[in-house]
Amino acid sequence: MKLAVFSTKKWVKDAFTSNTPDSIEQTFFEARLDEETAPLAADFDAICVFVNDVVNAAVIDTLAKGKVKIIALRCAGFNNVDIHKAEEKGIKVCRVPAYSPYAVAEYALGLILSLNRKYHRAHARVREGNFSLDGLLGFDLHEKTVGVIGTGKIGQVFMDVISGFGVRVLAYDKFPSDAVREKGVEYVELEQLYRESDIISLHCPLTHETYHLINDYAIRSMKSGVMLINTSRGPLINSNAVINGLKSGKVGYVGLDVYEEEGDLFFEDLSDEVIQDDTFVRLQTFPNVLITSHQAFFTREAVDNIKETTFSNLTDINRTGESPNLVSLPK
Protein backbone atom coordinates (compact mmCIF):
# COMPACT_ATOMS: atom_id res chain seq x y z
CA MET A 1 0.00 0.00 0.00
CA LYS A 2 1.37 3.40 -0.98
CA LEU A 3 0.75 5.85 1.88
CA ALA A 4 1.10 9.66 1.68
CA VAL A 5 1.74 11.15 5.11
CA PHE A 6 0.78 14.84 5.30
CA SER A 7 1.82 17.50 7.86
CA THR A 8 5.05 15.60 8.52
CA LYS A 9 7.16 16.98 11.34
CA LYS A 10 10.35 15.40 12.67
CA TRP A 11 8.50 13.56 15.43
CA VAL A 12 6.05 12.10 12.92
CA LYS A 13 8.81 10.80 10.65
CA ASP A 14 10.79 9.43 13.61
CA ALA A 15 7.73 7.53 14.85
CA PHE A 16 6.37 6.30 11.53
CA THR A 17 9.70 5.04 10.20
CA SER A 18 10.18 2.58 13.05
CA ASN A 19 8.49 -0.85 12.88
CA THR A 20 6.64 0.02 9.69
CA PRO A 21 4.77 -3.01 8.29
CA ASP A 22 6.37 -4.35 5.08
CA SER A 23 3.09 -3.86 3.23
CA ILE A 24 3.20 -0.07 3.72
CA GLU A 25 5.41 2.15 1.55
CA GLN A 26 5.42 5.70 2.94
CA THR A 27 6.11 9.08 1.37
CA PHE A 28 6.31 12.01 3.76
CA PHE A 29 5.03 15.45 2.80
CA GLU A 30 5.73 18.41 5.07
CA ALA A 31 2.73 20.23 3.58
CA ARG A 32 -0.60 20.36 5.31
CA LEU A 33 -3.32 18.68 3.25
CA ASP A 34 -5.70 21.22 1.75
CA GLU A 35 -7.24 22.03 -1.63
CA GLU A 36 -3.87 23.17 -3.01
CA THR A 37 -1.84 20.16 -1.85
CA ALA A 38 -4.46 17.42 -2.40
CA PRO A 39 -3.14 16.64 -5.94
CA LEU A 40 0.09 15.37 -4.28
CA ALA A 41 -1.94 12.35 -3.16
CA ALA A 42 -2.95 11.34 -6.71
CA ASP A 43 -0.86 8.14 -6.93
CA PHE A 44 -1.36 6.90 -3.39
CA ASP A 45 -3.71 4.22 -2.03
CA ALA A 46 -4.07 5.91 1.35
CA ILE A 47 -3.29 9.16 3.10
CA CYS A 48 -2.42 9.82 6.73
CA VAL A 49 -3.47 13.18 8.21
CA PHE A 50 -3.51 15.04 11.52
CA VAL A 51 -5.70 17.55 13.37
CA ASN A 52 -5.16 20.61 11.16
CA ASP A 53 -5.22 18.96 7.75
CA VAL A 54 -8.24 20.08 5.74
CA VAL A 55 -10.23 17.12 4.45
CA ASN A 56 -13.32 18.91 3.15
CA ALA A 57 -15.58 18.01 0.21
CA ALA A 58 -13.31 19.66 -2.37
CA VAL A 59 -10.21 17.82 -1.07
CA ILE A 60 -12.09 14.51 -1.03
CA ASP A 61 -13.22 15.10 -4.63
CA THR A 62 -9.54 15.47 -5.61
CA LEU A 63 -8.53 12.39 -3.59
CA ALA A 64 -11.30 10.36 -5.26
CA LYS A 65 -10.08 11.36 -8.74
CA GLY A 66 -6.78 9.70 -7.83
CA LYS A 67 -6.50 6.24 -6.23
CA VAL A 68 -7.00 7.11 -2.56
CA LYS A 69 -9.25 4.58 -0.82
CA ILE A 70 -8.36 5.22 2.84
CA ILE A 71 -8.02 8.38 4.95
CA ALA A 72 -6.17 7.45 8.13
CA LEU A 73 -6.41 10.10 10.84
CA ARG A 74 -3.52 9.87 13.29
CA CYS A 75 -5.70 11.57 15.93
CA ALA A 76 -9.00 10.99 17.73
CA GLY A 77 -11.13 13.94 16.59
CA PHE A 78 -12.48 13.80 13.01
CA ASN A 79 -14.19 17.22 12.86
CA ASN A 80 -11.83 18.19 9.99
CA VAL A 81 -13.11 15.42 7.67
CA ASP A 82 -16.31 15.61 5.59
CA ILE A 83 -17.50 12.10 6.45
CA HIS A 84 -20.60 12.39 4.19
CA LYS A 85 -18.43 13.16 1.20
CA ALA A 86 -15.97 10.37 2.00
CA GLU A 87 -18.81 7.82 2.21
CA GLU A 88 -20.30 9.13 -1.03
CA LYS A 89 -16.94 8.61 -2.74
CA GLY A 90 -16.38 5.16 -1.18
CA ILE A 91 -13.31 6.30 0.76
CA LYS A 92 -12.90 4.70 4.20
CA VAL A 93 -11.97 6.94 7.12
CA CYS A 94 -10.30 5.58 10.23
CA ARG A 95 -8.91 7.23 13.35
CA VAL A 96 -7.08 6.55 16.60
CA PRO A 97 -9.92 6.82 19.10
CA ALA A 98 -7.77 6.45 22.21
CA TYR A 99 -4.01 6.73 22.39
CA SER A 100 -3.53 8.14 25.85
CA PRO A 101 -6.31 9.83 27.76
CA TYR A 102 -3.67 10.30 30.48
CA ALA A 103 -1.52 12.52 28.26
CA VAL A 104 -4.32 15.04 27.68
CA ALA A 105 -5.87 14.85 31.16
CA GLU A 106 -2.49 15.31 32.88
CA TYR A 107 -1.72 18.23 30.58
CA ALA A 108 -5.03 19.93 31.44
CA LEU A 109 -4.10 19.62 35.11
CA GLY A 110 -0.71 21.17 34.30
CA LEU A 111 -2.37 24.17 32.66
CA ILE A 112 -4.51 24.68 35.77
CA LEU A 113 -1.51 24.53 38.11
CA SER A 114 0.60 26.83 35.91
CA LEU A 115 -2.14 29.42 35.51
CA ASN A 116 -2.92 29.38 39.20
CA ARG A 117 0.60 29.31 40.63
CA LYS A 118 2.25 31.02 37.63
CA TYR A 119 5.24 28.70 37.20
CA HIS A 120 5.90 30.04 33.71
CA ARG A 121 6.03 33.67 34.89
CA ALA A 122 8.07 32.84 38.00
CA HIS A 123 10.61 30.89 35.91
CA ALA A 124 11.06 33.86 33.54
CA ARG A 125 11.42 36.26 36.47
CA VAL A 126 14.01 34.22 38.35
CA ARG A 127 16.09 33.87 35.18
CA GLU A 128 16.10 37.68 34.97
CA GLY A 129 17.22 37.97 38.60
CA ASN A 130 13.78 39.15 39.72
CA PHE A 131 12.87 37.33 42.92
CA SER A 132 9.78 39.38 43.77
CA LEU A 133 6.54 37.53 44.59
CA ASP A 134 4.25 40.41 43.63
CA GLY A 135 1.64 39.25 41.14
CA LEU A 136 2.29 35.56 41.75
CA LEU A 137 -0.45 35.00 44.34
CA GLY A 138 -2.43 31.80 43.67
CA PHE A 139 -5.25 29.95 45.41
CA ASP A 140 -5.66 26.52 47.02
CA LEU A 141 -7.39 24.07 44.70
CA HIS A 142 -8.62 22.26 47.79
CA GLU A 143 -12.41 22.64 48.18
CA LYS A 144 -12.82 24.53 44.90
CA THR A 145 -15.46 23.39 42.39
CA VAL A 146 -14.29 22.02 39.05
CA GLY A 147 -16.76 21.68 36.16
CA VAL A 148 -15.99 19.05 33.53
CA ILE A 149 -17.81 19.20 30.19
CA GLY A 150 -17.53 15.86 28.40
CA THR A 151 -16.99 12.79 30.56
CA GLY A 152 -15.58 10.39 27.99
CA LYS A 153 -12.12 8.82 28.13
CA ILE A 154 -10.14 12.03 28.76
CA GLY A 155 -12.78 13.69 30.95
CA GLN A 156 -12.87 10.63 33.21
CA VAL A 157 -9.09 10.51 33.71
CA PHE A 158 -9.13 14.27 34.29
CA MET A 159 -11.80 13.86 37.00
CA ASP A 160 -9.73 11.10 38.62
CA VAL A 161 -6.55 13.18 38.77
CA ILE A 162 -8.14 16.48 39.80
CA SER A 163 -10.11 14.69 42.53
CA GLY A 164 -6.79 14.06 44.29
CA PHE A 165 -6.72 17.77 45.16
CA GLY A 166 -9.88 17.51 47.29
CA VAL A 167 -12.06 19.45 44.87
CA ARG A 168 -15.80 19.10 44.25
CA VAL A 169 -16.39 17.88 40.69
CA LEU A 170 -19.51 18.79 38.69
CA ALA A 171 -19.94 17.06 35.35
CA TYR A 172 -21.99 17.69 32.24
CA ASP A 173 -22.28 15.32 29.30
CA LYS A 174 -24.91 15.03 26.59
CA PHE A 175 -24.83 11.28 27.28
CA PRO A 176 -24.14 10.85 31.02
CA SER A 177 -22.41 7.60 31.94
CA ASP A 178 -23.49 5.21 34.71
CA ALA A 179 -19.84 4.22 35.21
CA VAL A 180 -19.05 7.86 35.99
CA ARG A 181 -22.05 8.16 38.32
CA GLU A 182 -20.89 5.02 40.15
CA LYS A 183 -17.60 6.81 40.91
CA GLY A 184 -19.70 9.37 42.83
CA VAL A 185 -19.48 12.15 40.21
CA GLU A 186 -22.46 14.52 40.18
CA TYR A 187 -24.00 15.25 36.75
CA VAL A 188 -25.67 18.65 36.56
CA GLU A 189 -27.13 20.85 33.83
CA LEU A 190 -24.73 23.24 32.08
CA GLU A 191 -26.34 26.28 33.78
CA GLN A 192 -25.52 24.91 37.25
CA LEU A 193 -22.01 23.90 36.17
CA TYR A 194 -21.39 27.45 34.86
CA ARG A 195 -22.91 29.05 37.97
CA GLU A 196 -20.95 27.03 40.55
CA SER A 197 -17.57 26.15 38.99
CA ASP A 198 -14.31 27.94 39.85
CA ILE A 199 -12.58 26.04 37.03
CA ILE A 200 -14.19 24.68 33.85
CA SER A 201 -12.34 22.13 31.70
CA LEU A 202 -13.61 21.13 28.25
CA HIS A 203 -13.37 17.48 27.17
CA CYS A 204 -16.19 17.12 24.63
CA PRO A 205 -15.77 16.78 20.85
CA LEU A 206 -16.30 19.59 18.37
CA THR A 207 -19.70 19.15 16.75
CA HIS A 208 -22.38 21.50 15.40
CA GLU A 209 -23.82 21.52 18.94
CA THR A 210 -20.59 22.32 20.75
CA TYR A 211 -19.27 24.96 18.31
CA HIS A 212 -18.79 28.16 20.41
CA LEU A 213 -20.26 26.42 23.45
CA ILE A 214 -18.35 28.98 25.51
CA ASN A 215 -19.84 32.24 24.22
CA ASP A 216 -20.89 35.60 25.71
CA TYR A 217 -24.07 34.11 27.12
CA ALA A 218 -22.30 31.17 28.79
CA ILE A 219 -19.59 33.44 30.24
CA ARG A 220 -22.23 35.80 31.68
CA SER A 221 -23.65 32.90 33.71
CA MET A 222 -20.24 31.86 35.11
CA LYS A 223 -18.64 32.78 38.43
CA SER A 224 -16.59 35.94 38.43
CA GLY A 225 -12.90 35.07 38.04
CA VAL A 226 -13.59 31.64 36.52
CA MET A 227 -10.69 29.66 35.02
CA LEU A 228 -11.38 28.20 31.55
CA ILE A 229 -9.29 25.29 30.25
CA ASN A 230 -9.56 23.99 26.69
CA THR A 231 -7.49 20.97 25.65
CA SER A 232 -10.21 19.70 23.33
CA ARG A 233 -10.82 21.65 20.10
CA GLY A 234 -10.39 25.40 19.56
CA PRO A 235 -13.83 26.25 18.19
CA LEU A 236 -15.52 25.11 21.41
CA ILE A 237 -14.62 28.62 22.61
CA ASN A 238 -15.59 31.91 20.99
CA SER A 239 -12.25 33.71 21.40
CA ASN A 240 -13.78 37.20 21.18
CA ALA A 241 -16.24 36.36 23.96
CA VAL A 242 -13.33 35.20 26.12
CA ILE A 243 -11.38 38.39 25.35
CA ASN A 244 -14.38 40.47 26.48
CA GLY A 245 -14.62 38.33 29.62
CA LEU A 246 -10.92 38.81 30.36
CA LYS A 247 -11.14 42.56 29.83
CA SER A 248 -14.07 42.87 32.25
CA GLY A 249 -12.44 40.55 34.81
CA LYS A 250 -15.36 38.09 34.60
CA VAL A 251 -12.91 35.51 33.24
CA GLY A 252 -9.95 35.21 35.60
CA TYR A 253 -7.70 32.75 33.78
CA VAL A 254 -7.62 31.02 30.40
CA GLY A 255 -5.54 27.96 29.51
CA LEU A 256 -5.66 26.94 25.86
CA ASP A 257 -3.88 24.06 24.17
CA VAL A 258 -6.14 24.58 21.15
CA TYR A 259 -7.32 27.72 19.39
CA GLU A 260 -10.14 28.17 16.92
CA GLU A 261 -7.90 29.42 14.09
CA GLU A 262 -4.87 27.31 15.04
CA GLY A 263 -4.54 25.75 11.57
CA ASP A 264 -2.52 28.72 10.27
CA LEU A 265 -0.28 28.93 13.36
CA PHE A 266 0.23 25.80 15.40
CA PHE A 267 3.04 23.31 14.75
CA GLU A 268 5.03 25.90 12.72
CA ASP A 269 8.02 28.05 13.73
CA LEU A 270 6.70 31.55 12.97
CA SER A 271 9.13 33.35 15.27
CA ASP A 272 10.46 35.51 12.39
CA GLU A 273 7.05 36.35 10.99
CA VAL A 274 4.38 38.93 11.69
CA ILE A 275 1.36 37.12 13.08
CA GLN A 276 -1.69 38.33 11.18
CA ASP A 277 -4.33 36.92 13.55
CA ASP A 278 -5.21 39.93 15.75
CA THR A 279 -7.49 37.89 18.02
CA PHE A 280 -4.68 35.46 18.80
CA VAL A 281 -2.22 38.30 19.39
CA ARG A 282 -4.71 40.04 21.73
CA LEU A 283 -5.15 36.82 23.70
CA GLN A 284 -1.37 36.59 24.12
CA THR A 285 -1.26 40.03 25.77
CA PHE A 286 -3.14 38.97 28.92
CA PRO A 287 -0.97 38.01 31.88
CA ASN A 288 -3.58 35.45 32.93
CA VAL A 289 -3.71 33.57 29.61
CA LEU A 290 -1.50 30.57 28.86
CA ILE A 291 -1.52 29.19 25.31
CA THR A 292 0.34 26.15 24.01
CA SER A 293 0.48 24.72 20.50
CA HIS A 294 -1.79 21.63 20.64
CA GLN A 295 0.69 19.50 22.54
CA ALA A 296 -1.51 17.91 25.21
CA PHE A 297 -1.36 14.55 23.41
CA PHE A 298 2.43 14.68 23.01
CA THR A 299 3.88 11.94 25.21
CA ARG A 300 6.05 8.98 24.19
CA GLU A 301 3.28 6.55 25.07
CA ALA A 302 0.68 8.45 23.04
CA VAL A 303 2.92 8.77 19.97
CA ASP A 304 3.70 5.02 20.05
CA ASN A 305 0.00 4.20 20.30
CA ILE A 306 -0.86 6.63 17.49
CA LYS A 307 1.67 4.96 15.20
CA GLU A 308 0.73 1.38 16.07
CA THR A 309 -3.02 1.98 15.79
CA THR A 310 -2.65 3.87 12.50
CA PHE A 311 -0.61 1.01 10.99
CA SER A 312 -3.05 -1.65 12.21
CA ASN A 313 -6.03 0.41 10.94
CA LEU A 314 -4.39 0.60 7.51
CA THR A 315 -3.40 -3.07 7.30
CA ASP A 316 -6.82 -4.25 8.58
CA ILE A 317 -8.70 -2.14 6.04
CA ASN A 318 -6.34 -3.15 3.26
CA ARG A 319 -6.82 -6.84 4.04
CA THR A 320 -10.49 -7.07 5.05
CA GLY A 321 -12.08 -3.69 4.28
CA GLU A 322 -12.90 -3.42 7.98
CA SER A 323 -11.38 -1.96 11.15
CA PRO A 324 -12.80 -1.35 14.63
CA ASN A 325 -11.66 2.25 14.19
CA LEU A 326 -13.61 3.15 11.07
CA VAL A 327 -15.47 6.46 11.30
CA SER A 328 -18.95 6.24 9.83
CA LEU A 329 -22.11 8.30 9.67
CA PRO A 330 -24.71 7.53 12.35
CA LYS A 331 -27.18 4.97 10.84
Could you tell me which stretch among 11-19, 131-139, 151-159, 271-279 binds ligand NAD (CB under 6 A)?
A: 151-159
CA-to-CA dists, residue 111 to 92, 101, 114, 228, 288, angstroms: 36, 16, 5, 10, 11
Closer by beta carbon to ligand NAD, 104 or else 115: 104
Closer by beta carbon to ligand NAD, 124 or else 161: 161
Closest alpha carbon to 72 in 137, 7, 122: 7
CA separation for the pair 188, 185 (Å, rounded): 10
Q: Is 319 a catalytic residue?
A: no
* Residue 323 near residue 94, CB atoms below 8 Å: yes
| Near ligand NAD in 104-123, by CB under 6 A | 104
CA-to-CA dists, residue 99 to 3, 132, 153, 198, 284, angstroms: 21, 41, 10, 29, 30
Could you tell me which stretch among 64-72, 84-92, 218-226, 291-299 binds ligand NAD (CB under 6 A)?
A: 291-299
Angle between helices 153-163 and 101-117 (to 10 degrees): 50
Cβ 113 to ligand NAD shortest distance, Å: 17
Q: Which residues pair with 149 in a beta bridge?
A: 172, 202
Closer by beta carbon to ligand NAD, 63 or else 180: 180
CA separation for the pair 193, 206 (Å, rounded): 19
Print the binding letters for residues 232-271 with ligand NAD: x by CB under 6 A, - otherwise: xx-----------------------xx-------------
Q: Say which of 32, 203, 233, 260 is annotated catalytic.
A: 233
Cβ-closest residue to ligand NAD?
Answer: 152
Q: Is 233 a catalytic residue?
A: yes
* Residue 210 near residue 192, CB atoms below 8 Å: no
Q: What residues contact 6, with CB distance under 8 A and at least 6 apart?
A: 29, 31, 32, 33, 37, 41, 47, 48, 49, 50, 53
Q: Which residues pair with 251 in a beta bridge?
A: 226
Cβ 186 to ligand NAD shortest distance, Å: 15
Candidate list 4, 12, 219, 296; residue touching ligand NAD; CB under 6 A = 296
Residue 209 in contact with ligand NAD, rule: CB under 6 A: yes
Cβ 323 to ligand NAD shortest distance, Å: 17
Residue 310 in contact with ligand NAD, rule: CB under 6 A: no
Candidate list 55, 60, 76, 317; residue touching ligand NAD; CB under 6 A = 76
Q: Go through 49-78 and write b for each residue having 16 or more CB atoms within 10 A of its CB, e for each that does not.
A: bbbbbbbeeebbebbbebebbbbbbbbbeb
Candidate list 69, 118, 153, 307; residue touching ligand NAD; CB under 6 A = 153
Closer by beta carbon to ligand NAD, 1 or else 98: 98
* Residue 51 near residue 66, CB atoms below 8 Å: no
Residue 150 in contact with ligand NAD, rule: CB under 6 A: yes
Candidate list 46, 86, 149, 290; residue touching ligand NAD; CB under 6 A = 149
Cβ 108 to ligand NAD shortest distance, Å: 9
Q: Is 262 a catalytic residue?
A: yes
Closer by beta carbon to ligand NAD, 101 or else 252: 101
* Residue 264 near residue 239, CB atoms below 8 Å: no
Candidate list 203, 307, 313, 325; residue touching ligand NAD; CB under 6 A = 203
Strand, coil or helix: 120: helix
DSSP tag of 39: G
Strand, coil or helix: 7: coil
Q: How many residues bind to ligand NAD according to rule CB under 6 A?
A: 31
Catalytic residue numbers read: 233, 262, 294
Report the interface residues with ligand NAD, using CB under 6 A: 76-77, 98, 101, 104, 149-155, 172-175, 203-207, 209-210, 231-233, 257-258, 294, 296-297
